[in-house]
Structure 1
């Protein structure tokens, strides 16, 4: 099945409202290893809201769904003006689903037993099975809406499909149905490599693209054209490669925001680090 093109009609995001400079990446919230769950995670999210963060990026697999639940709890009564981005298309194995039943004791044990912590980290690094069928994604959207406690996901992304998955376009008509029904505001794709990014950018009606900054640097003209057409651009892995000094972090932020209309995603569980990233983003601004 070839990817639909002119038949897809997604509305562009509100172009009268500037894209936020920075969004909070929430992949570690509720994780067994992150140490940021429950009340600590809600406090971090409230701190982000109070600091002016209006975009939160998550996925149905983050924290085995706990990341979405925590965002939903934190946004209760504060949903207006906030953009929720979540993703679907990856799924857990039976063993991983069973592990969610003992997540709390696992978290405690992992803090005490280094070998267990290493084992969990190793399993997390392994790729998950992918499923971009309409049936799976419809269930995934419904589950995300329930956990987030919202009536609409502002931007729904396919999570790490290959270029071939994108060219096949199996789920696009169904996602458009969900958009027309008001369950999602727009849909797009989160990619891991340049080939998938270029396949996504060939979709005439693409309305959202998330990609690592290193890949974005390879395709500035294509990304600028997508942004001019109304697509939301989310730059992730801004500080990839480990700790950096303040000057290096500021340079990385400047590189992300030099893409017109882009939002830099910063994944952190530290309010201090978030404040530093916000200050850096506001200092460098964005390209005209």
Structure 2
């Protein structure tokens, strides 16, 4: 079993040994598991206590459960990782009435991997400094090249941190969770714009698949052509091939979360540059689809919005090929 790196010289931070992890959802659970598997001791928390207990049961020698109201459970962690639904929840968990940051020791680091508004994250970092100036918040949202690779440590992490010592402490932890770690300088911004670009490709793909089928083309074969042509993108290679066209709808990413990200993207684009009509179109179309698909829908169920408007249903395909 791999262990954290050996002790560093006196002029560098000691390596992290104990890690807190809050948020064990579809992304948080596999990421936390990679850390436990690498030999770090984890203190885990989730609103669903059964998920925290499940992780501890799988890694009994390297993990323990923290109660929802016990901030002191994280007082000895070197690094705390958060993976939560939105920035408001992150702020409440860190510096709310029962926030854990006040109990954390000086020199410790918080790595926020959640999907949040970059403006909200900046505000949270400033408030955290007021609450506990000895703790550094590192902004490090997550994306991935292929579906279902988070449990393999194949995530892509975008990292923003102006504190060299904090970044040095966090980097080994980041590299366990991520195959690619990019120090960007503005990372929830990068995550937001990455998701915006992906959503734009999804919108184009939905248009193409519906129009193609109505013209007589096979949707799975269309995707096969795109994947060896200039139309290739993440959705054609991964999520729509494996979960959309198969109608399995189990990508692990909810349509409502993608819609939330698009609203953040529109705010960012409007703040930083000229207003984009495309962001309005994406939000309108995805909101309609989210209402049609219903609560908890997989993001690939966005196609149901196009199907309803066009009065057709895409032909169901096999995951590993056409037909």
TM-score scaled by length of structure 2? 0.30
Task: With a CA cutoff of 8 Å and minimum separation of 6, indicate the structure with the bigger relative contact order.
Answer: 1
